[in-house]
Amino acid sequence: MSDVLTPAQRSLCMSHIRSRDTEPERVVRSLLHQLGFRYRLHSRDLPGKPDIVFLGARKVIFVHGCFWHMHRCKYGRVVPKTNADFWRTKRESNVARDRRNITALRKHGWTVLVVWECQTKDMDRLAVRLRESLASNSLSYP
> Quick one: DSSP state of residue 117?
G
Query: Coil, strand or helix: which one is 62?
Result: strand
Question: What ranges do the domains of the chain cover?
Answer: 19-134
Per-residue pLDDT of the chain (142 residues; tens, 9 = 90+): 566 767 787 667 666 676 677 899 999 999 999 999 999 999 999 999 999 999 989 999 999 999 999 999 998 999 888 888 988 999 999 999 999 999 999 999 999 999 999 999 999 999 999 999 988 645 543 3
pTM of the model: 0.84
CATH of domain 19-134: 3.40.960.10
DSSP 63-92: EE-TTTTT-SSTTTT---SSSHHHHHHHHH
* Alpha helix positions (H), the chain: 7-15, 23-34, 84-107, 123-134
